Amino acid sequence: MENALINQINHNGVYVAVDVGTTSIGVSCFDVETDSQLAYFSFSNPQKIYGADVITRIKSCLDTPSAEKNMSDMLLIKLNEALKDNLGEAYNRISCLCYSGNTTMQHILRCLPVDGLSKAPFTPVSLEYFECEVAHEDNKAVINEAGNVREMFLPGFSAFVGADILAGVECLGMGKNDKYDLLIDLGTNGELVLINNQKGYATSTACGPVFDYGITGAVYGSECIKAIAMCIKRGLIDETGLIREPFFDSGINISDDITITQEQVRRFQMAKAAIYAGVSCLIAKADIDFEDIENVYISGGLGFYLNVRDAFSVKMLPEELKDKITVLGNTSLEGASRFLMAGDNRNLILEEYEGIRSRTESFELADYEYFQVTYINSMNF
């Protein structure tokens, strides 16, 4: 823990939990005095103009020295505007913000150097809990015009498995017994954790924005999965992912808003194969069988809308997990909210975070030979 200032936090006013996602930002606001939620909203991450994923944003920071500060400022300004719009007069009662998110997003927000995230051995500046007080002159987006605000940044696992996943694991109460629990966070980065009360394994696999905007016009990634699953069932897409004639050139028109093209199917295949192979590698790394897994949680923006049957129709997950799945929403935001509202028990949650981290091994799939073979074999529908 870098800053042990928890007991100095203002225990009244409005608390704000923020999930800093690569593609979208989730926000939940609470009135501490009444223990009630005041607002819940999300908006597109304005940093997308610097790239759709963490790799391109890291590259932007390295290529242009001012890019990181610009990205931090644009996100805080957008957050500030959204808080004013959604909170009204309660905006000036904000006393604390808690940020959860992947490691790259947290580094950029804090303006920490990202060069260590750009190359092996992928060393973040910090993965520890951090807390500070932000004065008006320090912040381009002045949150709470009535006074200073305390900011908290939750700890993470590794360069590519961040605070968003650790917060989710703790919030869900995973890894409490001998049986394993598996968390699959579906988003721009597919982050995975397999854990029991003795040992844990964490990794990530690049999905790109396909689960968010994989098909032209699709509002949610679940629409992408649903549309492709339907086409497979109707024989319009074969098991190799090839769109049949007469739709190969023009694409398959699902509705006035959604058309599936061959290029989009191929991008989707790469994303779903990455998830399937990532799950398979975790199980192989832990040297366990499917029956050793008790619960499978699917989270992320996609998770809230996902139809599990569609996920298995496109072979995004091993069939053996079918009866173990619970589909959830944004567990990162839930975890940040839980931490914020824990009051004097925040130190206990930090201890739980440390216990989870200390028994969890983070590893890179790129260094794991089994991943490449499984990835190729997982492409077909």
Higher pLDDT, 132 or 287: 287
Looking at residue 213, what is its pLDDT?
Answer: 53
Q: Are residues 15 and 133 in the same domain?
A: yes
Which tens digits make up the pLDDT trace of 327-342?
998 999 999 999 999 9
Report how many domains make up the chain: 2
Looking at residue 218, what is its pLDDT?
Answer: 53
Looking at residue 302, what is its pLDDT?
Answer: 65
pLDDT band at 43 (very low <50, low <70, confident <90, very high): very high
pLDDT band at 52 (very low <50, low <70, confident <90, very high): confident
Q: Are residues 25 and 93 in the same domain?
A: yes
* pLDDT at residue 214 greater than cutoff 60: no
* pLDDT at residue 75 greater than cutoff 90: yes
Give the residue-averaged pLDDT of 265-273.
Answer: 92
Q: Are residues 139 and 215 in the same domain?
A: no
pLDDT band at 3 (very low <50, low <70, confident <90, very high): very low
For residue 158, is it within any domain?
A: no
pLDDT band at 359 (very low <50, low <70, confident <90, very high): very high
Which tens digits make up the pLDDT trace of 247-259?
999 999 988 778 8
Q: Are residues 209 and 282 in the same domain?
A: yes
Q: Are residues 226 and 295 in the same domain?
A: yes
Looking at residue 10, what is its pLDDT?
Answer: 55
Q: Are residues 103 and 250 in the same domain?
A: no
pLDDT band at 223 (very low <50, low <70, confident <90, very high): confident
Q: Are residues 136 and 200 in the same domain?
A: no
What pTM, to 2 d.p., does this model score? 0.91
Q: Are residues 184 and 292 in the same domain?
A: yes
Cα(224)–Cα(217) distance, rounded to whole angstroms? 9
Looking at residue 4, what is its pLDDT?
Answer: 42
Give residue 308's domain range: 166-331+363-377
Q: Are residues 174 and 196 in the same domain?
A: yes
Higher pLDDT, 210 or 263: 263
For residue 348, is it within any domain?
A: no
CATH number at residue 264: 3.30.420
Higher pLDDT, 148 or 331: 331
For residue 144, is it within any domain?
A: yes
For residue 61, is it within any domain?
A: yes
Q: Are residues 267 and 296 in the same domain?
A: yes
Give the residue-averaged pLDDT of 193-198.
Answer: 98
Closest CA to 264 of 230, 245, 241: 241
For residue 147, is it within any domain?
A: yes
Q: What is the mean pLDDT of the chain?
A: 89
Looking at residue 368, what is its pLDDT?
Answer: 85
Which tens digits make up the pLDDT trace of 17-33?
999 999 899 999 999 99
- Find where tokens 């804090």 sit: 110
Q: Are residues 52 and 12 in the same domain?
A: yes
Looking at residue 54, what is its pLDDT?
Answer: 92
